[in-house]
Amino acid sequence: MSEDLCHLTAVELGARIASKDVSPVEATRAVLARAERLQGELNCFITLCGDEAMARAREAERQVMAGEPFGPLHGIPLTVKDIVNTKGVRTTFGAVPYKDNVPDHDAVAVARLRAAGAILIGKTTTPEFGSKCLTDSPLFGRTRNAWRADRCAGGSSGGAAVAVASGIAPLAVATDGGGSTRIPAACNGVVGLKQSIGVIPHSQVQDAFANQTHVTPTTRTVADTALMLQVMAGEDASDPWSIGVAAQDFVTASAPADELRGKRILFCLSPPGRPVASDVADSFKASLDRLAVLGAELEEFSGEAFDVEPTWRAINHTAWRARFTKLAADHGDVLSEAFLKQLALAEDVSGVDYQQALFERTALFRHVQSLLARADVLAMPTLTRPALPIAQDLFGAIEIDGQSFDNLRPHWFPWTMPFNMTGHPAISLACGFDRDGLPIGLQLVGGFRADAELLRVAALFETATDLLGRWPD
Protein backbone atom coordinates (compact mmCIF):
# COMPACT_ATOMS: atom_id res chain seq x y z
CA MET A 1 0.00 0.00 0.00
CA SER A 2 2.79 2.45 0.86
CA GLU A 3 4.47 1.95 -2.54
CA ASP A 4 1.10 2.51 -4.24
CA LEU A 5 0.77 5.86 -2.43
CA CYS A 6 4.17 6.90 -3.74
CA HIS A 7 2.99 6.34 -7.30
CA LEU A 8 -0.05 8.59 -7.01
CA THR A 9 -0.05 12.01 -8.64
CA ALA A 10 -0.71 15.02 -6.43
CA VAL A 11 -4.14 15.41 -8.00
CA GLU A 12 -5.01 11.79 -7.21
CA LEU A 13 -3.56 11.91 -3.72
CA GLY A 14 -5.36 15.17 -2.91
CA ALA A 15 -8.69 13.67 -3.99
CA ARG A 16 -8.14 10.58 -1.82
CA ILE A 17 -7.17 12.68 1.18
CA ALA A 18 -10.24 14.87 0.75
CA SER A 19 -12.50 11.81 0.55
CA LYS A 20 -10.80 10.27 3.62
CA ASP A 21 -9.64 7.25 1.62
CA VAL A 22 -6.01 8.09 2.43
CA SER A 23 -4.61 9.75 5.52
CA PRO A 24 -1.96 12.48 5.25
CA VAL A 25 -0.09 10.50 7.89
CA GLU A 26 -0.07 7.40 5.67
CA ALA A 27 1.09 9.38 2.64
CA THR A 28 3.84 11.23 4.51
CA ARG A 29 5.10 8.09 6.23
CA ALA A 30 5.23 6.30 2.86
CA VAL A 31 7.27 8.95 1.06
CA LEU A 32 9.65 9.42 3.98
CA ALA A 33 10.29 5.68 4.06
CA ARG A 34 10.93 5.70 0.33
CA ALA A 35 13.24 8.70 0.65
CA GLU A 36 15.29 6.99 3.35
CA ARG A 37 15.46 3.76 1.35
CA LEU A 38 16.57 5.40 -1.91
CA GLN A 39 18.75 8.21 -0.55
CA GLY A 40 21.86 6.04 -0.37
CA GLU A 41 21.49 5.15 -4.05
CA LEU A 42 20.23 8.44 -5.52
CA ASN A 43 21.65 11.05 -3.11
CA CYS A 44 18.90 13.54 -3.96
CA PHE A 45 18.43 15.11 -0.50
CA ILE A 46 20.63 17.34 1.61
CA THR A 47 18.13 17.39 4.51
CA LEU A 48 15.13 15.21 5.37
CA CYS A 49 12.50 16.71 7.70
CA GLY A 50 10.97 13.53 9.05
CA ASP A 51 9.83 14.67 12.49
CA GLU A 52 8.48 18.02 11.32
CA ALA A 53 6.74 16.41 8.35
CA MET A 54 5.02 13.80 10.50
CA ALA A 55 3.86 16.46 12.94
CA ARG A 56 2.35 18.45 10.06
CA ALA A 57 0.76 15.29 8.68
CA ARG A 58 -0.92 14.48 12.00
CA GLU A 59 -2.34 18.01 12.14
CA ALA A 60 -3.51 17.70 8.53
CA GLU A 61 -5.25 14.43 9.38
CA ARG A 62 -6.95 16.05 12.38
CA GLN A 63 -8.28 18.83 10.15
CA VAL A 64 -9.70 16.34 7.66
CA MET A 65 -11.39 14.25 10.34
CA ALA A 66 -12.79 17.37 12.04
CA GLY A 67 -14.28 18.58 8.77
CA GLU A 68 -12.31 21.81 8.86
CA PRO A 69 -11.69 23.70 5.59
CA PHE A 70 -8.32 23.07 3.98
CA GLY A 71 -6.31 24.08 0.95
CA PRO A 72 -5.80 22.47 -2.48
CA LEU A 73 -2.52 20.78 -1.48
CA HIS A 74 -3.65 19.56 1.93
CA GLY A 75 -1.48 16.68 3.15
CA ILE A 76 0.51 16.36 -0.10
CA PRO A 77 4.27 15.78 0.31
CA LEU A 78 6.57 18.46 -1.10
CA THR A 79 10.32 18.85 -1.56
CA VAL A 80 12.12 22.19 -1.91
CA LYS A 81 15.44 22.75 -3.66
CA ASP A 82 18.11 23.68 -1.14
CA ILE A 83 18.62 27.05 -2.75
CA VAL A 84 15.12 28.27 -1.79
CA ASN A 85 14.52 29.59 1.73
CA THR A 86 12.50 27.45 4.16
CA LYS A 87 11.76 28.85 7.58
CA GLY A 88 13.38 26.85 10.36
CA VAL A 89 14.81 24.25 7.94
CA ARG A 90 18.47 24.20 6.99
CA THR A 91 19.08 25.81 3.59
CA THR A 92 22.68 25.36 2.46
CA PHE A 93 22.65 26.56 -1.17
CA GLY A 94 24.72 23.44 -1.75
CA ALA A 95 27.76 25.28 -0.38
CA VAL A 96 30.01 24.35 2.55
CA PRO A 97 30.08 27.91 3.99
CA TYR A 98 26.29 27.73 4.42
CA LYS A 99 26.10 24.18 5.75
CA ASP A 100 24.48 25.35 9.00
CA ASN A 101 22.36 28.18 7.57
CA VAL A 102 18.74 28.19 8.86
CA PRO A 103 16.48 30.92 7.38
CA ASP A 104 14.01 32.74 9.60
CA HIS A 105 11.43 33.02 6.80
CA ASP A 106 10.07 31.13 3.80
CA ALA A 107 10.47 32.28 0.22
CA VAL A 108 7.11 33.65 -0.95
CA ALA A 109 6.45 30.65 -3.20
CA VAL A 110 7.21 28.19 -0.38
CA ALA A 111 4.99 30.10 2.05
CA ARG A 112 2.10 29.82 -0.42
CA LEU A 113 2.59 26.09 -0.87
CA ARG A 114 2.66 25.53 2.88
CA ALA A 115 -0.42 27.70 3.35
CA ALA A 116 -2.20 25.52 0.77
CA GLY A 117 -1.47 22.48 2.93
CA ALA A 118 1.64 20.96 1.33
CA ILE A 119 3.94 19.11 3.74
CA LEU A 120 7.68 19.73 3.40
CA ILE A 121 9.56 16.43 3.65
CA GLY A 122 13.05 17.61 2.71
CA LYS A 123 15.49 19.87 0.88
CA THR A 124 16.82 18.54 -2.43
CA THR A 125 20.35 18.69 -3.76
CA THR A 126 21.81 21.51 -5.83
CA PRO A 127 25.30 22.45 -6.94
CA GLU A 128 26.67 25.50 -5.14
CA PHE A 129 24.13 28.31 -5.58
CA GLY A 130 22.54 26.48 -8.52
CA SER A 131 25.59 27.33 -10.58
CA LYS A 132 25.75 24.51 -13.12
CA CYS A 133 23.88 21.93 -15.18
CA LEU A 134 25.18 19.02 -13.07
CA THR A 135 24.12 18.27 -9.51
CA ASP A 136 27.17 17.75 -7.34
CA SER A 137 28.83 19.72 -4.57
CA PRO A 138 31.67 19.44 -2.06
CA LEU A 139 28.93 19.43 0.58
CA PHE A 140 27.10 16.25 -0.46
CA GLY A 141 28.74 14.63 -3.51
CA ARG A 142 26.93 13.61 -6.71
CA THR A 143 23.22 13.04 -7.30
CA ARG A 144 22.45 10.11 -9.59
CA ASN A 145 19.92 9.86 -12.39
CA ALA A 146 16.65 8.16 -11.40
CA TRP A 147 16.87 5.79 -14.37
CA ARG A 148 20.55 4.81 -14.41
CA ALA A 149 23.07 5.13 -11.62
CA ASP A 150 25.94 5.72 -14.02
CA ARG A 151 24.32 8.88 -15.44
CA CYS A 152 23.97 12.37 -14.04
CA ALA A 153 20.77 13.91 -12.74
CA GLY A 154 21.20 17.09 -14.76
CA GLY A 155 21.16 20.37 -12.92
CA SER A 156 20.97 22.50 -11.15
CA SER A 157 17.62 21.20 -9.81
CA GLY A 158 18.80 17.60 -10.09
CA GLY A 159 17.64 16.53 -6.64
CA ALA A 160 14.15 17.92 -7.27
CA ALA A 161 13.73 16.02 -10.56
CA VAL A 162 15.16 12.77 -9.18
CA ALA A 163 12.89 12.87 -6.11
CA VAL A 164 9.82 13.27 -8.33
CA ALA A 165 10.92 10.73 -10.95
CA SER A 166 11.62 8.07 -8.33
CA GLY A 167 8.27 8.47 -6.57
CA ILE A 168 9.62 10.04 -3.39
CA ALA A 169 7.25 13.02 -3.57
CA PRO A 170 4.84 14.21 -6.27
CA LEU A 171 5.66 17.93 -5.94
CA ALA A 172 9.03 19.68 -5.96
CA VAL A 173 10.12 23.31 -5.88
CA ALA A 174 13.02 23.92 -8.27
CA THR A 175 14.72 26.96 -9.77
CA ASP A 176 15.69 27.81 -13.34
CA GLY A 177 18.24 30.45 -14.40
CA GLY A 178 19.37 28.94 -17.70
CA GLY A 179 17.58 25.60 -17.83
CA SER A 180 18.04 24.37 -14.26
CA THR A 181 14.48 23.00 -14.05
CA ARG A 182 14.10 21.79 -17.62
CA ILE A 183 17.52 20.10 -17.96
CA PRO A 184 17.02 17.66 -15.04
CA ALA A 185 13.36 17.22 -16.00
CA ALA A 186 14.49 15.99 -19.43
CA CYS A 187 17.23 13.81 -17.91
CA ASN A 188 14.77 12.12 -15.54
CA GLY A 189 11.58 12.02 -17.62
CA VAL A 190 9.43 14.45 -15.63
CA VAL A 191 7.68 17.77 -16.25
CA GLY A 192 9.76 20.90 -15.74
CA LEU A 193 8.15 24.30 -16.22
CA LYS A 194 9.88 27.66 -16.40
CA GLN A 195 6.88 29.96 -16.25
CA SER A 196 6.73 33.48 -17.70
CA ILE A 197 8.75 35.95 -15.71
CA GLY A 198 6.69 37.37 -12.84
CA VAL A 199 3.97 34.70 -12.81
CA ILE A 200 5.56 33.26 -9.66
CA PRO A 201 7.25 36.00 -7.60
CA HIS A 202 10.93 35.52 -6.83
CA SER A 203 11.45 37.04 -3.39
CA GLN A 204 15.14 36.09 -3.02
CA VAL A 205 16.70 37.43 -6.22
CA GLN A 206 18.99 40.39 -5.61
CA ASP A 207 18.56 42.14 -8.98
CA ALA A 208 14.84 41.80 -9.57
CA PHE A 209 14.80 44.09 -12.60
CA ALA A 210 17.41 42.30 -14.76
CA ASN A 211 16.38 38.92 -13.34
CA GLN A 212 16.35 35.80 -15.52
CA THR A 213 16.03 33.24 -12.71
CA HIS A 214 12.71 31.64 -11.72
CA VAL A 215 11.35 29.64 -8.78
CA THR A 216 9.50 26.82 -10.50
CA PRO A 217 7.44 23.62 -10.10
CA THR A 218 8.64 20.13 -11.02
CA THR A 219 6.19 17.21 -11.12
CA ARG A 220 5.42 14.02 -13.03
CA THR A 221 2.32 15.33 -14.83
CA VAL A 222 1.12 18.53 -16.43
CA ALA A 223 -1.94 18.53 -14.15
CA ASP A 224 0.27 18.46 -11.05
CA THR A 225 2.41 21.27 -12.46
CA ALA A 226 -0.73 23.33 -13.04
CA LEU A 227 -1.90 22.66 -9.49
CA MET A 228 1.42 23.85 -8.06
CA LEU A 229 1.51 26.86 -10.34
CA GLN A 230 -2.01 27.89 -9.32
CA VAL A 231 -0.88 28.03 -5.69
CA MET A 232 2.52 29.65 -6.30
CA ALA A 233 1.35 32.34 -8.76
CA GLY A 234 0.21 35.85 -7.97
CA GLU A 235 1.83 39.20 -7.42
CA ASP A 236 4.00 40.07 -4.45
CA ALA A 237 5.56 43.37 -3.49
CA SER A 238 9.05 41.80 -3.50
CA ASP A 239 9.07 41.19 -7.26
CA PRO A 240 8.32 44.05 -9.66
CA TRP A 241 7.78 41.63 -12.57
CA SER A 242 4.91 40.01 -10.66
CA ILE A 243 2.93 43.19 -10.06
CA GLY A 244 -0.14 43.49 -12.25
CA VAL A 245 0.20 40.05 -13.89
CA ALA A 246 -3.29 38.86 -14.79
CA ALA A 247 -4.60 35.78 -12.98
CA GLN A 248 -4.95 32.62 -15.08
CA ASP A 249 -6.82 29.37 -14.45
CA PHE A 250 -3.95 26.94 -14.86
CA VAL A 251 -5.82 23.94 -13.44
CA THR A 252 -8.67 24.15 -15.93
CA ALA A 253 -6.23 24.72 -18.78
CA SER A 254 -4.32 21.55 -17.89
CA ALA A 255 -7.37 19.32 -18.39
CA PRO A 256 -6.64 17.67 -21.77
CA ALA A 257 -9.70 18.65 -23.77
CA ASP A 258 -10.42 19.42 -27.42
CA GLU A 259 -7.53 19.27 -29.92
CA LEU A 260 -4.93 21.50 -31.53
CA ARG A 261 -6.78 22.17 -34.76
CA GLY A 262 -6.15 25.74 -35.83
CA LYS A 263 -3.00 26.01 -33.71
CA ARG A 264 0.31 26.69 -35.43
CA ILE A 265 3.53 25.26 -34.01
CA LEU A 266 6.93 26.38 -35.27
CA PHE A 267 9.70 23.83 -34.74
CA CYS A 268 13.49 23.63 -35.00
CA LEU A 269 15.80 20.72 -34.20
CA SER A 270 18.86 22.80 -33.29
CA PRO A 271 20.64 26.10 -33.81
CA PRO A 272 23.03 25.94 -36.80
CA GLY A 273 26.15 23.93 -36.08
CA ARG A 274 24.84 22.32 -32.90
CA PRO A 275 24.77 18.50 -33.18
CA VAL A 276 21.83 16.40 -31.96
CA ALA A 277 21.95 12.71 -31.03
CA SER A 278 20.11 10.49 -33.51
CA ASP A 279 17.82 9.08 -30.78
CA VAL A 280 16.84 12.62 -29.79
CA ALA A 281 16.22 13.60 -33.41
CA ASP A 282 14.05 10.53 -33.93
CA SER A 283 12.06 11.18 -30.77
CA PHE A 284 11.59 14.83 -31.75
CA LYS A 285 10.28 13.79 -35.18
CA ALA A 286 7.83 11.39 -33.52
CA SER A 287 6.73 14.18 -31.17
CA LEU A 288 6.00 16.48 -34.10
CA ASP A 289 3.97 13.69 -35.70
CA ARG A 290 1.89 13.41 -32.50
CA LEU A 291 1.26 17.16 -32.51
CA ALA A 292 0.18 16.95 -36.13
CA VAL A 293 -2.23 14.11 -35.34
CA LEU A 294 -3.71 16.35 -32.63
CA GLY A 295 -4.47 18.87 -35.38
CA ALA A 296 -1.59 21.33 -35.12
CA GLU A 297 -0.18 22.99 -38.22
CA LEU A 298 3.60 22.60 -38.24
CA GLU A 299 6.20 24.85 -39.80
CA GLU A 300 9.97 24.83 -39.42
CA PHE A 301 11.79 27.95 -38.23
CA SER A 302 15.46 28.87 -38.38
CA GLY A 303 17.53 28.59 -35.22
CA GLU A 304 19.97 31.17 -36.57
CA ALA A 305 19.50 33.73 -33.77
CA PHE A 306 19.46 31.27 -30.86
CA ASP A 307 23.13 30.49 -30.24
CA VAL A 308 23.11 32.82 -27.24
CA GLU A 309 25.33 31.21 -24.60
CA PRO A 310 27.93 34.05 -24.65
CA THR A 311 25.19 36.61 -24.01
CA TRP A 312 23.62 34.54 -21.24
CA ARG A 313 27.05 34.02 -19.66
CA ALA A 314 27.94 37.72 -19.70
CA ILE A 315 24.74 38.55 -17.81
CA ASN A 316 24.67 35.55 -15.50
CA HIS A 317 28.33 35.27 -14.53
CA THR A 318 28.65 39.01 -13.96
CA ALA A 319 25.82 38.76 -11.42
CA TRP A 320 27.54 35.79 -9.78
CA ARG A 321 30.84 37.65 -9.63
CA ALA A 322 29.15 40.60 -7.90
CA ARG A 323 27.46 38.25 -5.42
CA PHE A 324 30.26 35.82 -4.65
CA THR A 325 33.67 37.51 -5.03
CA LYS A 326 33.98 38.08 -1.27
CA LEU A 327 32.70 34.58 -0.51
CA ALA A 328 35.32 33.11 -2.84
CA ALA A 329 38.06 35.18 -1.22
CA ASP A 330 37.03 34.09 2.27
CA HIS A 331 36.14 30.45 1.60
CA GLY A 332 37.83 29.46 -1.66
CA ASP A 333 39.35 26.40 -0.01
CA VAL A 334 35.92 24.77 0.48
CA LEU A 335 34.26 25.83 -2.77
CA SER A 336 34.45 23.66 -5.87
CA GLU A 337 36.93 24.29 -8.65
CA ALA A 338 34.05 24.48 -11.15
CA PHE A 339 32.32 27.21 -9.16
CA LEU A 340 35.50 29.28 -8.88
CA LYS A 341 36.23 28.85 -12.59
CA GLN A 342 32.77 30.17 -13.44
CA LEU A 343 33.33 33.28 -11.33
CA ALA A 344 36.61 33.82 -13.18
CA LEU A 345 34.79 33.78 -16.54
CA ALA A 346 33.34 37.20 -15.71
CA GLU A 347 36.65 38.85 -14.85
CA ASP A 348 37.08 40.36 -18.31
CA VAL A 349 33.45 41.42 -18.82
CA SER A 350 33.41 45.22 -18.79
CA GLY A 351 30.49 47.45 -17.99
CA VAL A 352 30.09 48.11 -21.72
CA ASP A 353 30.15 44.35 -22.42
CA TYR A 354 27.46 43.79 -19.82
CA GLN A 355 25.25 46.53 -21.25
CA GLN A 356 25.76 45.14 -24.75
CA ALA A 357 24.57 41.77 -23.48
CA LEU A 358 21.42 43.43 -22.17
CA PHE A 359 20.89 44.99 -25.62
CA GLU A 360 21.25 41.52 -27.13
CA ARG A 361 18.76 40.15 -24.59
CA THR A 362 16.21 42.72 -25.79
CA ALA A 363 16.87 41.83 -29.43
CA LEU A 364 16.34 38.14 -28.61
CA PHE A 365 13.03 38.92 -26.89
CA ARG A 366 11.83 40.82 -29.98
CA HIS A 367 12.90 37.97 -32.24
CA VAL A 368 10.95 35.42 -30.19
CA GLN A 369 7.97 37.77 -30.19
CA SER A 370 8.14 37.93 -33.99
CA LEU A 371 8.05 34.14 -34.20
CA LEU A 372 5.13 33.89 -31.79
CA ALA A 373 3.27 36.56 -33.76
CA ARG A 374 2.74 33.88 -36.42
CA ALA A 375 2.49 30.85 -34.14
CA ASP A 376 0.98 29.71 -30.86
CA VAL A 377 3.89 27.55 -29.67
CA LEU A 378 7.53 26.85 -30.49
CA ALA A 379 8.87 23.28 -30.26
CA MET A 380 12.40 21.91 -29.98
CA PRO A 381 14.30 19.18 -28.10
CA THR A 382 15.05 20.16 -24.51
CA LEU A 383 18.58 18.68 -24.74
CA THR A 384 20.75 17.57 -27.64
CA ARG A 385 21.41 14.19 -25.95
CA PRO A 386 20.13 12.30 -22.88
CA ALA A 387 21.76 12.38 -19.45
CA LEU A 388 25.54 12.67 -19.37
CA PRO A 389 27.87 10.30 -17.48
CA ILE A 390 27.78 10.65 -13.71
CA ALA A 391 31.40 11.86 -13.59
CA GLN A 392 30.93 14.53 -16.29
CA ASP A 393 33.07 17.64 -15.77
CA LEU A 394 31.38 21.00 -16.44
CA PHE A 395 34.51 22.14 -18.28
CA GLY A 396 35.09 18.80 -20.01
CA ALA A 397 34.09 17.75 -23.52
CA ILE A 398 30.61 16.44 -24.29
CA GLU A 399 30.14 13.34 -26.43
CA ILE A 400 27.22 13.13 -28.87
CA ASP A 401 26.87 9.95 -30.95
CA GLY A 402 30.56 9.18 -30.61
CA GLN A 403 31.79 12.67 -31.46
CA SER A 404 33.44 14.91 -28.89
CA PHE A 405 32.68 18.62 -28.57
CA ASP A 406 34.19 21.32 -26.37
CA ASN A 407 32.04 23.71 -24.32
CA LEU A 408 29.26 21.73 -22.70
CA ARG A 409 26.56 24.39 -22.30
CA PRO A 410 25.90 25.43 -25.92
CA HIS A 411 26.28 21.85 -27.12
CA TRP A 412 23.97 20.21 -24.56
CA PHE A 413 21.24 22.75 -23.82
CA PRO A 414 21.27 25.50 -26.46
CA TRP A 415 17.47 25.75 -26.27
CA THR A 416 16.94 26.43 -22.57
CA MET A 417 18.99 29.60 -21.98
CA PRO A 418 17.20 31.78 -24.57
CA PHE A 419 13.86 31.70 -22.77
CA ASN A 420 15.36 32.66 -19.42
CA MET A 421 16.58 35.80 -21.14
CA THR A 422 13.27 36.53 -22.90
CA GLY A 423 10.95 35.56 -20.03
CA HIS A 424 8.65 33.40 -22.17
CA PRO A 425 7.15 30.25 -20.59
CA ALA A 426 8.88 26.99 -21.54
CA ILE A 427 8.04 23.46 -20.46
CA SER A 428 9.97 20.20 -20.81
CA LEU A 429 7.97 16.99 -21.18
CA ALA A 430 9.06 13.38 -21.54
CA CYS A 431 8.63 12.40 -25.19
CA GLY A 432 10.50 9.11 -25.46
CA PHE A 433 13.52 7.04 -24.45
CA ASP A 434 16.84 6.38 -26.11
CA ARG A 435 18.26 2.95 -26.89
CA ASP A 436 19.75 2.76 -23.37
CA GLY A 437 16.39 3.42 -21.71
CA LEU A 438 17.13 7.04 -20.78
CA PRO A 439 14.38 9.68 -21.03
CA ILE A 440 14.31 12.27 -23.82
CA GLY A 441 12.66 15.66 -23.38
CA LEU A 442 10.55 17.86 -25.66
CA GLN A 443 10.47 21.60 -24.95
CA LEU A 444 7.42 23.69 -25.82
CA VAL A 445 7.54 27.49 -25.57
CA GLY A 446 4.43 29.66 -25.30
CA GLY A 447 3.50 33.28 -25.76
CA PHE A 448 4.62 35.82 -23.17
CA ARG A 449 2.35 35.36 -20.12
CA ALA A 450 0.30 32.77 -22.06
CA ASP A 451 1.21 30.07 -19.52
CA ALA A 452 -2.27 28.59 -19.31
CA GLU A 453 -2.40 28.04 -23.06
CA LEU A 454 1.05 26.44 -23.00
CA LEU A 455 -0.15 24.03 -20.29
CA ARG A 456 -3.17 23.13 -22.43
CA VAL A 457 -0.95 22.18 -25.37
CA ALA A 458 1.41 20.28 -23.05
CA ALA A 459 -1.47 18.34 -21.49
CA LEU A 460 -2.79 17.32 -24.89
CA PHE A 461 0.67 16.13 -25.92
CA GLU A 462 1.06 14.22 -22.65
CA THR A 463 -2.18 12.31 -23.22
CA ALA A 464 -1.04 11.42 -26.75
CA THR A 465 1.92 9.47 -25.33
CA ASP A 466 1.97 6.32 -23.19
CA LEU A 467 4.91 7.35 -21.02
CA LEU A 468 3.30 8.12 -17.65
CA GLY A 469 3.02 4.46 -16.77
CA ARG A 470 6.80 3.96 -16.99
CA TRP A 471 8.81 4.21 -13.78
CA PRO A 472 12.53 3.76 -13.10
CA ASP A 473 13.52 0.40 -11.59
Splitting the chain (473 residues) into consecutive groups of 10 residues, what average pLDDT does each group show? 85 98 98 98 98 98 97 98 98 98 98 98 98 97 98 98 98 98 98 98 96 98 98 98 97 91 97 97 98 98 97 96 97 97 93 97 98 98 98 97 96 98 98 98 98 98 94 92
Percent of the chain with pLDDT over 90: 98
> Can you name the residues that pair with 175 across neighbouring β-strands?
215
Q: What contacts 310, CB < 8 A, 6 or more positions away? A: none
What's 46's DSSP letter? E
Amino acid at 178: G
Rounded-to-integer distance, Cα 83 and Cα 144, Å: 19
pTM: 0.98
Q: Report the residue count for the chain.
A: 473
Structurally, at CATH architecture level, domain 2-463 sits in Alpha-Beta Complex (3.90)
Q: What is the pLDDT of residues 414-439, one digit of tens each?
A: 999 999 999 999 999 999 999 999 99
Q: What is the pLDDT of residues 240-294, one digit of tens each?
A: 999 999 999 999 999 988 899 999 999 999 999 999 999 999 999 999 999 999 9
Which residues are annotated as catalytic? 81, 156, 180
Domain boundaries, given as residue ranges, for the chain: 2-463
Q: What is the pLDDT of residues 181-196, one digit of tens each?
A: 999 999 999 999 999 9
Please answer whether residues 123 and 80 qualify as being in contact, where contact means their C-beta atoms are separated by less than 8 angstroms.
Answer: yes
Q: What is the pLDDT of residues 230-247, one digit of tens each?
A: 999 999 999 999 999 999
> Can you name the residues that pair with 47 across neighbouring β-strands?
123
Amino acid at 10: A
Closest by CA to 304, choosing from 358, 350, 370, 359, is 370
